[in-house]
Amino acid sequence: MQNARRFAFTLIELLVVIAIIAILAAILFPVFAQAREKARAAGCLSNCKQMGTAVLMYAQDYDDAIVPWLRRANYSGEPRAQRLWTGLLQPYVKNGGTNPPSGVFACPSGNPESIKKGADAPDCYPGELDAYWPPLEVWSHYAITFQMAERAGSGTQQDPYYQYAGSLAYPPDMGGLTRYMPEVKRPAETVLIGDGITMVGGGYFVIVLGCESAYVHQDGANYVFLDGHAKRIARNSERYLSSTVENGQTVYYKTYYTFSME
């Protein structure tokens, strides 16, 4: 009876197989990472759509008022969590919580370092967050615009006009300002909420939204607009400009951050 022949891989063959596996891994892993990030971005967009619906429901209940980033305390010692914009939308979304964020207020790709990276980009506000970093508390992976009584900027392409549509539900004599939906010239192009951060840092409550969000989702971020819809804006959302004519001159404004111009 003859002995059965035994077969084995040579060293060269093993090295070739390992090399092929390494090449395939190098090709496929970035693809898998991109697919995973797209799924996370889709989950974030779903959160934003829920917040958009909540913003409209809030307006219906409060005579077309835009939900404020903060309202005055109704009684001494009322928790900030109930007065902050996330708490004001909670009765409508009924999902998640804050500090730390969960549910609808937690972005699947939420990473404070991506906000810092965006802030320090040359076309944003380098060093803006240094005094508040690192965050001591993170209340939401999303942020809301502040109230703004007058528009700022000079109307040039280098220094465009901007005016946020956010509200502060305090009495006017305390610096409060409540905006109302009918004031908004372009509700479908006016950002209210988006990928960003609502946090405590450096002893202050800090809400960051805008060019700082440029790197949240593959060089872009998701935003909620004042007509209730949500969408992704690529790269720096503050650098998209529109123009109009005032007093015979062409002036420029930040498309998504100027509610009072059209």
Q: Give the per-residue pLDDT at 194.
A: 98
Domain of 103? 11-258
Q: Please, which pLDDT band fits residue 8 given cuts at 50, 70 and 90?
A: low
The structural domain count of the chain equals 1
Tell me the three state secondary structure of residue 255: strand
How far apart CA 124 and CA 206 sit, in angstroms, is 17
Contact at 8 Å (CB) between 161 and 258? Answer: yes
* pTM: predicted TM-score of the whole model, two decimal places: 0.86
Q: Is the pLDDT of residue 47 over 80?
A: yes
Q: Give the per-residue pLDDT at 218.
A: 86
Residue 3 placed within a domain: no
Residue 4 placed within a domain: no
Give the H or E element holding residue 26: helix 11-61
CA 208 vs. chain centroid, Å, equals: 8
Q: Could you tell me which of 162, 167, 166, 132 has the C-alpha nearest to residue 150?
A: 162
Distance (Å) of CA 253 to CA 25, 124, 188, 225, 257: 46, 16, 16, 17, 8
Q: What is the mean pLDDT of the chain?
A: 92
Q: Give the per-residue pLDDT at 68.
A: 97
| Better-scored residue on pLDDT, 244 or 80 | 244
DSSP β-ladder status, 204-208 and 191-201: antiparallel
Residue 67 placed within a domain: yes
Q: Give residues with Cβ within 8 angstroms of 61, minimum separation 6.
A: none
Residue 65 placed within a domain: yes
Residue 2 placed within a domain: no
Q: Please, which pLDDT band fits residue 24 given cuts at 50, 70 and 90?
A: confident
Give the H or E element holding residue 163: strand 161-163
Residue 1 placed within a domain: no
Q: Is the pLDDT of residue 3 over 60?
A: no
Q: Give the per-residue pLDDT at 4.
A: 54
**How deeply is 131 buried, as exposed, middle or buried, from its count of CB atoms within 10 A (0-12, 13-18, 19+)?**
exposed
Interval 149-179: pLDDT, tens: 999 999 999 999 999 999 999 999 999 999 9
Q: Could you tell me which of 185, 104, 168, 165 has the C-alpha nearest to residue 139?
A: 104
Residue 6 placed within a domain: no
Residue 79 placed within a domain: yes
Q: Give the per-residue pLDDT at 40.
A: 82
DSSP 118-155: HHTSTTS-TTTTGGG-S-SEEEEEEEEPPB-SS-BS-S
Q: Please, which pLDDT band fits residue 14 given cuts at 50, 70 and 90?
A: confident
